[in-house]
């Protein structure tokens, strides 16, 4: 018999969170495993994290070895400091957070925005934006689909990775390999991503959905966009600028807090959204950044591009690319 005890943390792609997720599935009745026993002491969705009741709920030894005065003091510190707040949430309330001080509220992302049994097939024939972030041919690339029904948006991600990146030597190789085995990432042969596979998926999207626009970053994607334009796919260039990302970042922040954007629990997109840090300028514009190179944000950037084009379309603005297409300089 192997017995383990731990608290939550900020690494959602490690073995600890994987075990937490597995226990959660067992406790929710979504998976049966008679050899595996687990208990999770934490607070529930909607609980006030600063209340004494929440502290009691997450600490079964409250008032015995966990002293009420200590909890109260640490909780007050957490209300004044984002760094102390993450420490309190993880070590005292057993809540998973993102690394450091990420821009988006990941508690709300996981608790308010996750919708079980949400499938892409439910949206066949509906209008959507399909964003591409192909920042590198030698690492992960993201295709993000954004739908809207009334005031609620729905997001789905698909990811591509060279086989070599899922091998030892890559800082994220073990996680990538696990996601590939779970059909969350599509591995492409060799050392670079095969863009032909992405193009084939775009054409399939065009046939199954009402693809309004395909926003993309011109870096690495000029030839792909030219081929797709010839196939009738509405490619729209969205450069990686503060002007294009600031308002979508602020809007997405609000959607997450209100729970008006839904996802199917996609672990890759959640990891990438949680890796986003906001770089503010003197005019309070914000731009997405990552702290370390291995903390990928491609899916989050794709979502921001899709929101950018949705906002532009809603405002009735047009782009020069819509009238004359993309120019390629050889």
Task: Please state the domain extents for the chain.
Answer: 15-97, 120-324
**Residues in CB range of 145: below 8 A, 6 or more apart:** 120, 128, 129, 130, 131, 155, 156, 157, 158, 205, 209, 306
Q: Which contacts qualify for 45-48: CB closer than 8 Å, 24 or more apart?
A: 45/111, 45/112
Taking only the tens place, the pLDDT of each residue in 133-157 is 986 677 889 999 999 999 999 999 9
Neighbour-count burial for 159-178, b at 16+ CB within 10 Å, e otherwise: bbbbebbbeeebebeebbbb
pLDDT of residue 328: 42
Give the pLDDT mean for 36-42.
Answer: 92
- pLDDT tier, 100 (very low <50, low <70, confident <90, very high otherwise): low
322: pLDDT strictly greater than 70: no
Residue 249 reports pLDDT greater than 80: yes
- Statement: residue 25 has pLDDT above 70: yes
Cα(203)–Cα(206) distance, rounded to whole angstroms? 5
On average, the pLDDT of the chain sits at 86
The single-letter DSSP state of residue 132 is: E
Overall average pLDDT of the 79-89 stretch: 78
**pLDDT at res. 99:** 55
Q: CA 186, 226, 328 angle in degrees (round to 5)?
A: 125
How is residue 114 written in tokens? 């996750």
Tell me what percent of the residues of the chain surpass a pLDDT of 90.
49
11-24 pLDDT per residue, tens: 776 778 888 888 88
Q: Is the pLDDT of residue 330 over 70?
A: no
User: What is the reported pLDDT for 294?
Assistant: 79
Give 183-207 pLDDT, tens digit per residue.
889 988 888 888 899 999 999 999 9
Cβ pair 113, 261 in contact under 8 A:
yes
pLDDT at 77: 87
For 315, the token pair is 């405002």
Using the predicted structure, report yes or no on whether residue 28 has a pLDDT greater than 90.
no
Planar angle of CA 212, 215, 219, nearest 5 degrees:
160
- Please give the residue that has the higher pLDDT: either 312 or 189: 312
**8-state DSSP, 188:** E
260 closest CA partner among 307, 313, 215: 307
Its CATH class, for the domain covering 120-324, is alpha beta
Indicate the pLDDT class of residue 180, thresholds 50, 70 and 90.
confident
User: Given this model, what pLDDT does residue 169 score?
Assistant: 64
- 273, 249 in Cβ contact below 8 A? no
Q: Round to whole Å and give the CA distance between 8 and 40.
A: 10
Q: Is the pLDDT of residue 324 over 50?
A: no
Cα dihedral 149, 153, 94, 102, rounded to 10, equals -170
What is the pTM (predicted TM-score) of this model?
Answer: 0.72
Split at pLDDT 50, 70, 90, the class of 250 is: very high
Decide which of 128 and 326 is more confident: 128
Distance of alpha carbon 174 from its chain centroid, rounded? 19
pLDDT of residue 9: 83
DSSP character at residue 5: -
Q: Kindly tell me the number of DSSP H helices and DSSP E strands found in the chain.
A: 12, 9
Nearest to 47 by CA among 93, 110, 85, 99: 93
What pLDDT does 171 receive?
67
Q: At what angle do helices 298-314 and 242-258 cross, to 10 degrees?
A: 100
Average pLDDT over residues 160-183: 78
- Alpha helix (H) ranges present in 28-160? 52-58, 68-78, 82-91, 106-111
Q: β-pairing, 152-162 with 185-188? A: parallel
**Would you give the distance in Å from CA 93 to the centre of its chain?**
23
Q: Is 90 exceeded by the pLDDT of residue 229? A: yes
42 confidence band (pLDDT: 50, 70, 90): very high
């Amino acid at each position: 018999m192997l017995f383990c005890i731990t608290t939550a943390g900020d690494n959602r792609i490690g073995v600890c969170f994987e075990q937490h997720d597995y226990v959660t599935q067992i406790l929710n009745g979504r998976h049966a495993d008679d050899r595996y026993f687990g208990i999770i002491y934490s607070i529930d969705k909607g609980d006030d994290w600063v209340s004494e009741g929440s502290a009691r709920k997450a600490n079964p030894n409250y008032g015995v070895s966990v002293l009420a005065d200590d909890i109260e003091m640490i909780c007050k510190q957490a209300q004044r400091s984002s760094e102390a707040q993450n420490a309190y949430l993880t070590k005292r309330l057993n809540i998973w957070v993102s690394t450091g001080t990420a821009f988006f509220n990941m508690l709300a992302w996981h608790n308010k925005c996750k919708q079980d049994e949400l499938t892409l097939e439910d949206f066949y024939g509906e209008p959507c934006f399909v964003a591409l972030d192909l920042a590198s041919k030698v690492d992960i690339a993201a295709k993000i689909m954004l739908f809207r029904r009334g005031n609620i948006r729905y997001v789905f991600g698909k990811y591509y990775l060279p086989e070599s990146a899922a091998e030892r030597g890559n800082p994220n190789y073990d996680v990538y390999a696990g996601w590939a085995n779970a059909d969350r990432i599509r591995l492409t042969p060799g050392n670079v991503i095969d863009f032909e596979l992405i193009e084939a998926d775009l054409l399939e999207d065009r046939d199954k959905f009402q693809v309004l626009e395909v926003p993309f970053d011109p870096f690495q994607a000029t030839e792909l966009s030219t081929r797709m334009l010839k196939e009738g796919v509405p490619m729209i260039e969205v450069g990686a600028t503060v002007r294009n990302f600031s308002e979508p970042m602020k809007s997405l922040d609000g959607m997450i807090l209100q729970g008006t954007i839904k996802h199917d629990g996609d672990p890759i997109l959640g990891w990438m959204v949680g890796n986003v840090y906001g770089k503010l300028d003197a005019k309070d514009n914000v731009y997405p950044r990552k702290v370390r190179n291995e903390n990928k944000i491609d899916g989050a950037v794709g979502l921001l591009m899709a929101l950018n084009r949705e906002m532009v379309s809603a405002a009735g603005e047009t782009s020069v690319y819509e009238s004359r297409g993309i120019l390629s300089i050889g």
